[in-house]
Amino acid sequence: MSRNAESTAFRSALEVIRAVEPRVADAIGAELADQRESLKLIASENYASPATLLAMGNWFSDKYAEGTVGRRFYAGCQNVDTVEALAAEHAQELFGAAHAYVQPHSGIDANLVAFWAVLADRVESPALKKAQVRQVNDLTEADWFALRRELGNQRMLGMSLDAGGHLTHGFRPNISGKMFDQRSYGTDPATGLIDYDRVAEAAREFKPLILVGGYSAYPRKVNFRILREIADSVGATFMVDMAHFAGLVAGKVFTGDFDPVPHAHIVTTTTHKSLRGPRGGMVLCQPELADQVDRGCPMVLGGPLPHVMAAKAVALAEARRPDFADYAQRIVDNSQALAEGLLRRGAKLVTGGTDNHLVLIDVSGYGLTGRQAEQALLDSGIVTNRNSVPQDPNGAWYTSGIRIGTPALTTRGLGTAEMDQTAELIHTVLTQTTAGANADGTPSKAKYTLDAGLADKIARQATDLLATYPLYPGVDLS
């Protein structure tokens, strides 16, 4: 697409929106301006291409399309069939997967589809039917225990939250924690790395129905061959959530033992992180689970979003181009350069570095909580998110860590030299921020002090760093 075409497309869209609700048009324009001016280091965010973004704003949004390709509950879905089939075809070719299901609206939805696909032959139990007549929120702990027992006392073994696992891997605040009796495997306290012998020991003791691999804040590669061997040894289904690192798999940075697709029974992912597509989810699986996975709607999903599936098809087609592999490698190069820059300046990193797209800083070395560090960095034009570290004394809300990632800045074109400059900006902010106190004089986990002049200076430096790498250079809204 030419730059003139991109500008015309987005400018025209905003004009149409402005005629109905100008405040929405203003907010859209302001979001682009904000993203252009700030260092986006949130590991789970990226920038989709103009083609991907435009694929979501069209008449496919008006269609109901429950069912699957060629088997819809609504008439008139022939064009939806086309884009869904294209998205699935691109996904299968890109990842070498036997089957792809591209309907999930999010990563959580993709995980739910996977869980229920594994449990499918048990979900018609009398206990579940009885439970459905009550409000889920009214169920007691005893109710959930009885339900799990009726369904086969299903068990899930996955990475603990503080070690880098995800909320949807069996933890109580998420529905997966209601569905499964969950146990976690952590990391070695000395190294922060997965101890596969301990995972095997936990699997032998717990005998899970599902062994989950994958992470949201683990900065190293995972050996999926070993995890599959552990799963097989206890008769477990091996599921991998690759939402964070799917782009590194697609770009062939992670291959062999570190590519989950050949080893897992079922793989889930989002499409908007390192894969650089629209916000959405996807499930890849072996043939024996395909029929159950394809029942995701209406099993746990609402109606598919055809406009998002169209955007997934576009993004997956982009990921099959040769330049995507170069992009994926640069993500890791940048992540490692950022880690090295922080280490040289005295920062403490979980596992001492990174193999992938993310870096986890233990900010307790700066005398701060994750919440204090996150806000101080935001004041300075650096967008990150707080995150737990292994054995975190501050819990999951205040945390002791900051998670940063390089997919978005790599999309903008920044390289390893700019990562070192970014490390300097981060380190300066954190060293100049001091923890605050509550009104009664006790230490606060949220309040902090940072000179406003310094914050403004860092924000200007961040903007200057980005000036050479404009975001959506083909889009001029003026």
Q: Is 130 a known active-site residue?
A: no
- Active-site residue flag, 276: no
* Residue 311, phi then psi, degrees to nearest 5: -70, -35
The total of other beta-carbon atoms located within 10 Å of residue 478's CB is: 5
Indicate which residue of 64, 195, 348, 416 is catalytic: 64
Look up 344 and say whether it is catalytic. no
Answer yes or no: 279 catalytic: yes
Which of 84, 109, 181, 241 is catalytic? The answer is: 241
Q: Which of 36, 279, 295, 412 is catalytic?
A: 279
Please identify which of the residues 268, 270, 354, 433 carries the catalytic annotation.
270
Lookup: tokens for 385: 């998110």
Residue of 37, 45, 63, 66 marked catalytic? 66
Instruction: Verify whether residue 327 is a known catalytic residue.
Output: no
Annotation says 183 is catalytic: no
Of these residues, 273, 295, 412, 445, which one is catalytic? 273
- Report, as residue numbers or ranges, the catalytic residues: 64, 66, 241, 270, 273, 279
